[in-house]
Amino acid sequence: MLDHVRGYFRRTVFKTIRFLKHPRKLKRSGVMRWFALHFLNKRVWKPTQHTFSGGLAIGMFITLQLLPIQMPAATIVAAIFRVNIPIALVMCWLSNPVTMAALVPLEYAVGKWALAFFTQVPSTPFPDKLPEDVAGMWMALREHAPVMLFGGVVLGAVLTPISYAVSYVTWGWLEHWRDRRKEPELPLKSGDDPL
């Protein structure tokens, strides 16, 4: 039964992709051409070394922007740069209600430090305890929100290239390690010294 459902789902997905990528549809509509080029490209769904690292970097930058439109923004930016969309979406889940308690003060501190070079920062202290609901939190942080958002941009600009480089090198290292493990050991001849 599960194989039947899996096969039906796979056939449906392929039929939909063929329908959306049909040359007549692409010739008629510029929007469909753009959509097919960016969202129906295999590169954005199947991870490779470059697309995985790029999706991770874009997701890292977007997740540090504490805005409610993270997932749509990550999807669109990842599609524009043609990097892995699922990885960018998964990275958006790093900023969630549990991790907000650590991210908000960190972004505020970085934003206050960075803005001190350019302009006056808010003189009121950052609240020690934030309200439970999101609306109450934004009302409490109204004065500090621009500083926090700037801190998110600065943190994102610093961590994006680092996350790309680390994931790119790690992917290459894991691929090399996997290939080395697959190499068969040559058997020793009777007269060979094992050392």
Q: Check residue 69 and report its DSSP letter.
A: T
With 0.75 as the threshold, say if the pTM is over it.
no
The angle subtended at Cα 136 by Cα 133 and Cα 141, nearest 5°, is 125
More confident residue, 137 or 43: 43
Q: Give me the chain's average pLDDT, please.
A: 80
The whole-number average pLDDT for the span 21-32 is 70
Six token digits for residue 144: 């500090």
CA 82 vs. chain centroid, Å, equals 12
Quickly tell me which residue has 């590169």 as its tokens.
43
Q: Where are the domains of the chain?
A: 7-40, 44-180
Tell me the per-residue pLDDT of 135-181, one tens digit each, with 9 for 90 and over. Answer: 776 676 677 778 888 889 999 999 999 999 999 999 999 988 888 87
- pLDDT over 70 for what percent of the chain? 76
pLDDT over 90 (residue 11): no
- Kindly calculate the radius of gyration of the chain based on its CA atoms and give it in whole angstroms: 24
